[in-house]
Structure 1
Amino acid sequence: RLPNDAPIFHPDGTRRLVIQAVDQLRPDGVEVIRLAASDGRVEPADILAALQREGFHTLLVEGGGFTISRFIDAGLLDRLHIAIAPVLIGAGQQGITMPSPPDTLAEAMRPTTTAFSVGSDVVFDCELPR
């Protein structure tokens, strides 16, 4: 869904790489890793394996609740940063929703967490079990 005129594709001297499940040409200089999708989704483990083959050893996943929850569910995140801002929107996308939620609250993941104030926002740094 990322359009070819997205700013992230503009050449700036850094390596530009996109992982996609569709045949779509990208701008010159952009490397494409094509992975198979299941139900329109690429598995987080497949993404991580492909990036490791390219020499990446650390990955920052900046995504919405759906993307992040799939990486958590797959046990592939070490840390999770959650920012809470005092802004009342009233509608929009739902937050993190686990694909395989626990049956009881007692079984829920309870990461070791440190909270930081950033102006009027609060950022939670959560260390996730693997």
Structure 2
Amino acid sequence: MMKPIHLLPCCLFALAPAASAVEPTSEPSDALISKLINLRSQNRTPAIAVAMVLEGTTKSGPFEVNHVRRIIAVHPVIENGRQVRRMNTYELHWTPAYGWFLWEKRDEAGGEAVWIWSELQGEVVVR
């Protein structure tokens, strides 16, 4: 009697690289970029002017991240009690779970936290 061949595990293994190569569904718009910068600054950054959006990748040690956009924007900041316009750069990342997002590590009283400002989930804090 012949044993049945189980092809499902083989098919899933063969399709795994294609499934992990998810691409962004759209490029970040100026409106989305402004929204994320405002989320990050707690709505203290009015009148954001996006000068450039540069496509690329970023590396941290041996780890390389695709779907990164370097944002060059000009917006007001407070310096010495005065509001002045300054050029700022941001790295905008993309994942299926967050869409386009900004993030940073913050030191807090109880330890470290990761703050994420995302297209799909809004503000997320991981402690």
TM class, shorter-chain normalised?
Answer: under 0.3
Using structure 1 for the length normalisation, give the TM-score: 0.22
- More relative contact order, 1 or 2 (CA 8 Å, 6+ apart): 1
Q: Which has the higher Rg, Structure 1 or Structure 2?
A: 2
More strand by share: 2
